[in-house]
Amino acid sequence: MLHMSSPIRCATPLTRGVAVVAVGGNALTAETQRGTADEIAANAAQMASCLGELVAAGWQVAVVHGNGPQVGNLAMQQDAAEDLVPVQPLHQLCAMTQGQLGSVLVRAVDRECGAGKAVCVVTHVGVDPQDPAFETPTKPIGPFFDEDRAQAYAAQRGWTVAEDSGRGWRRVVASPRPESIVEMQAIRTLLEAGHVVLAAGGGGVAVDAGSLDGVDAVIDKDRASAALATAVGATELYLLTGVDCVLLDFGTPRQRPAHRMTQQEAAQHLADGQFPAGSMGPKVEAALRFLDDGGHRAIITSVGRLAEAVAGDPTAGTSIERAHAATRTAS
């Protein structure tokens, strides 16, 4: 018999609308971790506790998780065993990580909210095969290397590699924009039935939007979460990452936190190059896209500060609001 830790805490009636939470792959496998099953499960448990707070507060919750570290690790395992078993294409590895991480997160949420509360939908996301992103890979996956080792892997395996925000070198792959979510109706139905829905994991399995053939790419989970949030009519989008808030002039003596930005301010900082394409850039872009499409508020924060951000703590994360919402707050 399965015993839940505290299922009653999630029993509050759902009255506040839909919130979409985007969870970075680095939140499930931290930079200092190797990505063992025990590490991923422990990180998922911490995340599920925060998601339980959202459910208890009355939100319908959809979760989009990243898979950058995990899908890159899996690709390396595939390459290492290529003499024994066939290597699978990248879009299939994305499907594998959806199942892997979805299972861990579903069980963690169910321990908080009761067995059967969470559901994982293996989601396919349509992209344009002619997207310019295929010519300029930017999505980091897998572990960090020093430059010499990264360049050696690039030569041996045909990788594209790049330096990642001062933390080391990683493999980078194409990250096209999501155009459609194939399982959208099923996701809406599950949300309306009161489930916590894990969808578009790892950004979703990239498929040709016309033929549904698999496409080798890793869709950015923040962009996928913005598309999902718009499609389900979410009012709030939470973009979880490894830092508590957005930092301006990151890595310089002028580095400083930004806890609140208008759409215009965020767009200007993005245009000024404050947010790199492989790290904070997609989160800010996703927030702006969500607000442009009618969302009320997007918050960028860490897993540990999520509950405080939901409760309205102005120091918990970076809140980017629609222009009219910011005006009302100021008045």
Kindly list the domain boundaries of the chain, sorted by start residue: 15-126+179-330, 137-173
The alpha carbon of residue 79 and the mean position of all alpha carbons in its chain are separated, in whole angstroms, by 26
**Of the listed 24, 67, 68, 139, which one is catalytic?**
139
Report the alpha-carbon distance of residue 147 to residue 137 in Å, rounded: 18
For 331, other C-beta atoms within 10 Å of its C-beta total: 5
**Of the listed 142, 283, 295, 317, which one is catalytic?**
283
Task: For residue 227, give the nearest of 189, 190, 178 by alpha carbon.
Answer: 178
Determine whether 221 is an active site residue: yes
pLDDT in the model for residue 4? 45
Task: For residue 25, give the nearest of 285, 250, 222 by alpha carbon.
Answer: 222
Answer for the pair 218, 67: CB distance below 8 angstroms, yes or no: yes
pLDDT in the model for residue 3? 44
Determine whether 283 is an active site residue: yes
User: Mean pLDDT, consecutive 10-residue segments, the chain of 331 residues?
Assistant: 50 74 86 89 92 91 94 95 96 97 97 97 97 94 95 95 90 96 97 96 96 96 95 94 90 93 95 84 93 94 88 91 56 35
Q: Assign domain 15-126+179-330 to a CATH class.
A: alpha beta
* Residue 33 burial (C-beta neighbours within 10 Å; 0-12, 13-18, 19+): middle
Q: Give every CB contact of residue 166 below 8 A, 6+ residues apart in sequence.
A: 251
Answer for the pair 221, 65: CB distance below 8 angstroms, yes or no: yes
Determine whether 35 is an active site residue: no
**Of the listed 117, 126, 203, 221, which one is catalytic?**
221
Is residue 49 helix, strand or coil? helix
Determine whether 26 is an active site residue: yes
pLDDT in the model for residue 279? 74
